[in-house]
Amino acid sequence: MAGLKNRIKSLVPDNLLLGQLVLRRASAWQQAGLIFIHVPKNGGTSINSAVYGRFMGHFRVGDIERVRPNLLRSLPSFAVTRNPWARAYSAWNFVREGSAMKDGAQIHDPARYQVPEFDSFERFVLEWLPSHDLNHEDYVFRPQLQFLLNRKGETGVSHLGRIEEPGSYLPFLEESLGRQIDIRHLNRTSDPFRYREVYTPEMRDCLTRCYAADMEKLDYDF
C-alpha cells in the first residue's frame, strides 16, 4: 500500500502537492496567529515545536502567496536565516547521516547522493555544489532566498532574524504570540565557530560563489 501511495504521489505535480499542504497548514497558522517560514537546516525545528507543537514542513513564501495570499497579508510572519557556510556543512552531514529526522524532514532520494563527491566535505563543496543547479535540488541545498522572497523579489516575511542571534527574533516572536516561549536546544544545530575549521580558503570562496545571492542579500561574513 505504501509503495502504491508513493507511486501515485510521484505522478502529482509538486506545485499541486505543495498547494494541498498549504491548505492543510492554514488552520494551524491562523490558530497561532503567526506564520513561520522554516528554511531547511536553519534550526527551525525547535521553533516549530514551540509555536505549533509539531513539524509544519518547509514552505516558501511563494507557496503560501500562490494558494492563500490573504494569510500573508493578515498574519505576521517571520523566518530565521543561517550563516551559509555553516548551513552547507550541516546539509552535507544531514544527507550522509541517513537523510531523515524524527520531525518528518527527509531527503527525497537518498540514493542519488551515494556518490564519490559526498565522501568528503571538500569534494562536496568543490565538485558537487558548483556542478548542480541548487535551485532544483533537495530543499536542504537550495538557497535561503528561495524560501524568503515573494513574487516581486522582495523579502516576503514581516520579520527576519538570525538563528545565531536569538535576540534578533525572540522579542518579535513572543510579542506576536502574546506569550513567552521556551525554545530548547536552539543553538545545537549552529555552532558559529566550528564550521570554519572544515573550510580551506578555496572551499570558502567556492561556496561564496555557489550561494552568491544569499551572501549578498543576507550579509553574512565567514
Q: What is the pLDDT of residues 166-198, one digit of tens each?
A: 999 999 999 999 998 888 654 454 455 589 999
Q: Supply the pLDDT for residue 10.
A: 39
* 90-133: pLDDT as tens digits: 999 999 886 555 445 567 778 889 999 999 999 999 999 999 99
* 32-66: pLDDT as tens digits: 999 999 999 998 988 999 999 888 989 999 999 99
| Residue 104 vs residues 57, 100, 162, 181: alpha-carbon distances, Å | 8, 7, 23, 22
Question: Distance (Å, rounded) from C-alpha 215 to C-alpha 200?
Answer: 18
Q: Supply the pLDDT for residue 192.
A: 52
Number of Cβ within a 10 Å radius of residue 199:
19
For the ranges 10-14, 97-101, 148-152, 182-186, the lowest mean pLDDT is seen at 10-14
Q: Supply the pLDDT for residue 2.
A: 43
Q: Supply the pLDDT for residue 17.
A: 76
Mean pLDDT throughout 73-82?
96
pLDDT at residue 219 greater than cutoff 90? yes
Question: Distance (Å, rounded) from C-alpha 183 to C-alpha 193?
Answer: 21
Q: Supply the pLDDT for residue 183.
A: 80
Per-domain residue ranges for the chain?
A: 12-82+151-186, 83-143+191-222
Q: Supply the pLDDT for residue 134.
A: 96
